[in-house]
Structure 1
Amino acid sequence: MQYDPIKRSLGKVFNQTPALRKLFYRLLDLLLLRAWHVRKELKNLPLSADCSILDAGSGFGQYTYRMSRLFAKSNILAVDVKEEQIADCNRFFAQINQSDRVRFEEADLTKFVKPEAFNLVLSIDVMEHIEEDVQVFKNFYHSLKPGGVVLISTPSDQGGSDVHDHDHEEGGVQGFIDEHVRDGYNIQEIEDKLKSVGFTRVEARYSYGCPGKISWRLSMKYPIQLLGVSKLFFILLPFYYIIAFPVSAVLNYFDVKGTHASGTGLIVKAFK
């Protein structure tokens, strides 16, 4: 299954007004376990309110919006390869009067470098889509100011995003996520790659442990699969989440608070 058609369908629903867009961001923050982990890490980073930030692979702009609120005087550059999302996000941030310090640009991360321009580089669910990952890590390193940090969320090699959970179809086998160029990172592998480009300290931990894996299926996998079958499930989604969300929220809490010997996701911080 591919995410993009579902994303576009959701975008059409929630992009009609700025209020609906904010609601969409809020729902993603509540439902996505990775958002819980990223929120925890961002709050604990030693960054000033007026820091300079790169959102590397900004997508819908969910994390750009969160950082614009968390770091109230920051300047944020958000980049992505999808031109329509760039235009859409620039339009939204202009509507909420934030375009003076938040802007979106189209960019290829394998080529994008702004020497010593940022205190923080955020990369959420991006690296699993890029073959030339070491080149991107090198670009991140050169784009950070001394003392800066890159924060990465990506699938691990323990079955991230159910890449090993295949749906058998006529003519072949297709995973839940078929847009990835790698199944996920081993902790030692990503640490070694980041250190090879110059990062002096790397901290990596598993996310999506046992509680998180169950939560992800309840809050994301099953609803998206049903939406892929029929858009009529949009009507039933609120009723589904009335039952599923309280369970997922408790599971998310334990996943964020716990330490996991293994997990299908990785949270990685690398310091320059």
Structure 2
Amino acid sequence: MKAIDINCDLGEGFGPYHMGDDETLLDIVTSANIACGFHAGDPVIMGTTVRAAISRGVDVGAHIGYPDRAGFGRRPIQMDARELAAMTLYQLGALHAIAHAAGASIKHLTLHGALGNLSFVDQDVADTVHGAVKSFDPTIRILTLPGTVAERSARSHGLPVSTMFLADRAYDDQGLLVSRKLPGAVIHDPAAITDRVRLVVTEGRVTSITGKSVPVEAKSILVHGDTRGAVDIAKLVRDTIRNCGGTVAPLSKIA
């Protein structure tokens, strides 16, 4: 069984407000998707999270989203291509400066909330973001859902790509995420999460919210740092991978 990365959205507080137990999660996961100050995060939190990740050998990645702190980046914002590209570069540049000062570099990128969901289905959004990433650093790895517009777009731009599975989110029959507005979209039950991860790791598939078997190829498994019980979920994911005969390691070590 090959090694699998566990990635997690971190650094999503703001000022004195904290979101999730980042310190504990960084002892479990292997890649950190660090909020870059738009949907969440600020320069101090970004720096603290970067240094904490480095000290544990966890990969540093950028987690970019729309400028929507009040909505936690989960509301789509209409932008033209120039605005979206500039927004992408702004967030990458901010994290790059902080990571570089700490002796690290950005290894990967994930898109947050509404921006991520749009990238799965909207060619223009995906191409604009990936074009900006390529112009900034063509070695940054794109983490996204398999079989989506986003995956195809990233590959067409010559960017390295790794596909991922979201342990705590329900899937529809097309392999996309079920809207958080619908019941059952976020999964908290430990037994259900364990079964889902085991199925992905051993058989490369997930059962959709309607009961359909959907193929999923995943080099990385995502745990949302803001999900209730995120630490326990991360432990479940790690332990399930190991119980299936696999190992866990950062994408930079296995991709």
Category of TM-score, reference length = shorter chain? 0.3 to 0.5
Task: Please give the TM-score of this superposition, normalised by the length of structure 1.
Answer: 0.38
| Greater percentage in helix | 1
Bigger Rg, structure 1 or 2: 1
Higher relative contact order (CA 8 A, sep 6+): 2
